[in-house]
Structure 1
């Protein structure tokens, strides 16, 4: 069984599904690496304008496969490869140049919360539940992900989630700001509807905005400033900018190609 399923859901929209339902889609090293590889491959496809990550079965993702990781710890090199693959998966989502949406059902636990926060938007089914159980495992959540959590839900709510390790139901998580939309029907369809207004917008503009927002959320604007400045400079010479100017003058809708 493939641990990751990648397919085109609609023209311009790709679907990436974690496929370990027997483990509530908890990710082993191979799955984390497959997520990284899949999004890097999608980023090289100019026709893709958005991607949705979800899980097969009843759950989004139960986070890292702790059993697999503990087995890997017997070999320090294998344990490091496991940790590196998790970081690579998060980084791949963050650098993907188009909007990435998490379509979430059931459990979203631990590392899966980080995975969801590395997406641009989170769309939840009523069944979704969020939990960061570090206080129950005597662990500390990575600082960069706490920064993202605080930006989404505020410091007080973040403290409560981290200090208690309790499951937070979908409605409460939506009110807190973690979920961007909530549905009691098909969560993939809800994610598609949410993404629809973005699909015909200028890809270079969305890419630049994503770079800026990601840097703001983790206080890395100084490091990211050269790349952001280059993006701002390049976009004013792009085919898409010229098309937008022409469309404005002729009162027509521009057709963006991402160049």
Structure 2
């Protein structure tokens, strides 16, 4: 199987790169597991600032691979492991002293938005777009991701994005607080920011991150998320001919 993610390190700065651009960086269950393993390795490698990016500036991530999501209608026993590995990745992105920076140069949708929200800082370019589409499929969004969304944009804007599943552009995402910085050159801005962070005290950053308390527990499967894979609307969606 082709690898959807890779990472490299330069001093105290790391780069975690999505590289399945032919599928819009959609992640399969095996990719989520590989991503979790990589984050575990990165946390032990002395990385102080990690840039989460795409090898193709035309796309950040379409989230989870819909082919595998649809297959959960036939193999519901796979839903809990799928949910758990996603939750573990989100926790790893926010946990520990390492600062994570999402470099969002292109479209960012579904679980791709969850990855971006789990990072400490989000930088978007003019071609970036955002949507959270589970309401189109008859499923829910993980509770931890919903809490992160509400924390970033407030409950009203969170409700708007979740219930309408509309796509917004980078300017609107910045206006409501979904992203923190806008820049025409996302890669350069994130690299500069990561270097600034890496030059500072690791002990201070660990204390500051602890005070911000951005961690969401991934100890148990998210039952309301799992229940979504049993709804009649999801089963109808999963049975569609998608060509």
Aligned pairs, number: 215
Whole-angstrom CA distance in 2 between matches of 1:62 and 1:83: 17
Q: What is the CA-CA distance between 1:210 and the residue it aligns to?
A: 1.7
User: Deviation per CA, 1:114-149, whole angstroms, max 9, x where unpaired?
Assistant: 111110001111111010112212222222222211
- Which protein is bigger by CA-based radius of gyration? 1
Structure 1 segments unaligned to the other structure (5+ residues):
221-259
Q: Secondary structure at the match of 2:22?
A: helix
Q: Which residue of structure 1 aligns with residue 111 of structure 2?
A: 111
Q: What is the CA-CA distance between 1:61 and the residue it aligns to?
A: 0.5
Structure 2 segments unaligned to the other structure (5+ residues):
218-243
CA contact (8 A) 1:131 1:168 kept: yes
Whole-angstrom CA distance in 2 between matches of 1:155 and 1:79: 27
Q: Which of the pair has the greater relative contact order for Cα pairs under 8 Å at 6+ separation?
A: 2
Q: Which residue of structure 2 aligns with residue 205 of structure 1?
A: 204
RMSD of aligned residue pairs (Cα, Å): 1.9
Q: Which residue of structure 2 aligns with residue 13 of structure 1?
A: 13
Go from structure 1 to structure 2 and tell me whether the alpha carbon gap of 1:144 and 1:88 turns closer, same or farther (over 3 Å shift).
closer
Q: What is the CA-CA distance between 1:203 and the residue it aligns to?
A: 1.1
Q: Which residue of structure 1 aligns with residue 192 of structure 2?
A: 193
Q: Which residue of structure 1 aligns with residue 50 of structure 2?
A: 51
Q: What is the CA-CA distance between 1:100 and the residue it aligns to?
A: 0.4
Q: Which residue of structure 1 aligns with residue 144 of structure 2?
A: 144
Q: What is the CA-CA distance between 1:183 and the residue it aligns to?
A: 1.4
Q: Secondary structure at the match of 1:166?
A: coil
Give the TM-score normalised by structure 2. Answer: 0.81
Go from structure 1 to structure 2 and tell me whether the alpha carbon gap of 1:68 and 1:142 turns closer, same or farther (over 3 Å shift).
closer
User: Deviation per CA, 1:195-249, whole angstroms, max 9, x where unpaired?
Assistant: 333222221221232233235x76x8xxxxxxxxxxxxxxxxxxxxxxxxxxxxx
1:3 maps to 2:4 = yes
Q: Please show how residues 1-259 of structure 1 align to structure 2 within 5 Å.
A: 1-8=2-9, 10-46=10-46, 48-57=47-56, 58-71=58-71, 74-185=74-185, 187-215=186-214
Off by >6 Å, runs of 4+ in structure 1? none
Whole-angstrom CA distance in 1 between matches of 2:128 and 2:151: 20
